[in-house]
Amino acid sequence: MDTAIKRKESKSHYPIAIYMLMISAFAIGTTEFVIMGLLPQVASDLEVSIRQAGLLVSGYALGVAFGGPILTVMTVRLPRKGLLLALMALFVAANIMSAIANEYYVLMIARILSAFTHGTVFGIGSIVAARLVSPEKRASAIAMMFIGVTLANIMGVPMGTLIGQSYGWRTAFWVVAVLGIFSMITLAIFVPRLQNQETPSFMKEISVLRNPEVLRTLLMTVLGFGGVFVIFTYITPLLTDITGFRESTVTILLLLFGAGLTVGNIVGGKLSDWKLMPSLIGMLMMLMLVMAIFTFTSHNKIATVITIFVWGFFAFGTVPGFQMRVLDKAQSAPNLASALNIGAFNLGGAGGAWLGGVVLESPLGLKSLPWVAALVTLLGLMLTIWSHVVERNSMK
């Protein structure tokens, strides 16, 4: 089967199955972020505070970070295609449950169930995407799947928010559920049945937790990507209070940020296929510098517009490299490691959001968020450089 796939790939840039995985990523990315724009409506309808409604975002992130790896280990012996279809079925059910939830705790459970599918679909999907192409295109194939997430930020979330605000927040989840059904159909038709490359084992998967290179990569992901959310979580007040944009303009700037994410993801994948660690180090270095410079450019509208796009470019330029790195270091048991790295992105986001809140309420204030974010990514950069040096020395 793999040989047939490689022949098919040689006639086109990527197998069509990778684009079907992108659709799944688009659906999942939309349901993850769309609730942020609907929190006031959710809070009012379910008679809870905005703060309680905000916990639905935190609950989702924790579900990805912890539930995804657990579900991955529990399903390690299942065929990859069948597992993807079952996960998307659970995703659809969770979004329908969200749409009909009449109690806050029911919506929270639905969000957590949806988050469980997030970590596992992205983890297994990364492995499937990498196996569908030749070795020199693996990072690019993973990046292509992750374009679904960036497109969700550009199109899915704004459209979902608009639909939810116009026709009620529940309608947004019904639309996502329909998108999930469409994704299931395309996966069933176009994704081939891949044989496991070796017999999957619960103990073998768990053994990756004893691999120091895998653990270092997970920490690299948490720190390297976590800095982005120190700023992104509070990007609206930063752009309005510091830069002076109107709130209505922020949506346009976020679309520009999403465009940067998309382009950076593609370029990051190609660079990671070329030279994985040097390109990852370069991306992190530029990401740190751009966020540090944002401390100054955030006071000028034109400079901010340029910075927003470049920031998005380098933010997601790191994603294919991090995911490819963890797959390389856990070749004998990639399933859990891949899901753990998806969780690491979410832990970094949750940690960055928490740190940003601390800075916001401290004497440093809103204007300090960019350079604090740069310091967090600097820690990830230092760990990445150290890991690369250790790896090269061990090969001598």
pLDDT tens for 216-250 read 999 999 999 999 988 887 887 889 889 998 877 87
**Mean per-residue pLDDT over the chain, rounded:** 86
Residue 186 scores a pLDDT above 90: yes
Give the per-residue pLDDT at 202. Answer: 63
Whole-number pLDDT of residue 201 = 62
pLDDT at 7: 43
Is the per-residue pLDDT at 12 higher than 60? no
* The domain boundary residue, chosen from 144, 176, 199: 199
pLDDT at 396: 65
Identify the pLDDT of residue 11: 46
The DSSP secondary structure of 299-350, one letter per residue, reads: TSHHHHHHHHHHHHHHHHHTHHHHHHHHHHHTTTSHHHHHHHHHHHHHHHHH
Which of residues 171, 199, 227 is at a domain's end?
A: 199
Distance CA 22, CA 10 (A): 20
Based on the fold, state whether residues 206 and 170 are members of the same structural domain. Answer: no
Alpha carbon 35 to chain centroid, angstroms: 16
Q: Say yes or no: 232 and 380 in one domain.
A: yes
Any idea of the CA torsion for 176, 182, 188, 189, to the nearest 10 degrees?
-150
* Residue-range definition of the domain harbouring residue 132: 1-199
pLDDT interval class at 199 (50, 70, 90): low
Q: Do residues 171 and 264 share a domain?
A: no
- Say which CATH number the domain at 92 has: 1.20.1250.20
Does residue 365 sit in the same domain as residue 272?
yes
Give yes or no: residues 10 and 143 share one domain.
yes
Same domain, 170 and 229: no
Q: How many structural domains is the chain composed of?
A: 2
- Provide the pLDDT for residue 301: 94
Compare 126 and 187 and report the one with higher pLDDT: 187
How confident is the model at residue 28, as a pLDDT?
Answer: 94
* Other residues' Cβ atoms within 10 Å of the Cβ of residue 195: 11
> Are 223 and 48 spatial neighbours (Cβ–Cβ below 8 Å)?
no
Looking at residue 197, the DSSP 8-state letter turns out to be S
Locate all alpha helices (DSSP H) within the chain, ordered by sequence.
Answer: 2-11, 16-33, 39-46, 50-62, 68-74, 80-100, 104-131, 138-151, 157-167, 169-190, 202-206, 212-232, 235-237, 247-274, 276-297, 301-317, 319-329, 334-360, 369-395
Q: Tell whether 116 and 246 lie within a shared domain.
A: no
The confidence score (pLDDT) of residue 187 equals 94
- Domain identity same for 187 and 265: no
The reply to whether 230 and 250 lie within a common domain is: yes
288 and 216 in a single domain? The answer is yes
Q: Are 15 and 152 in a shared domain?
A: yes
pLDDT digits (tens, 9 = 90+) for 272-313: 888 889 999 999 999 999 999 999 999 999 999 999 999 999
Domain boundary (150, 171, 199) is at 199
Contact yes or no for 22/145 (Cβ under 8 A): yes
Residues 240 and 335 in one domain: yes
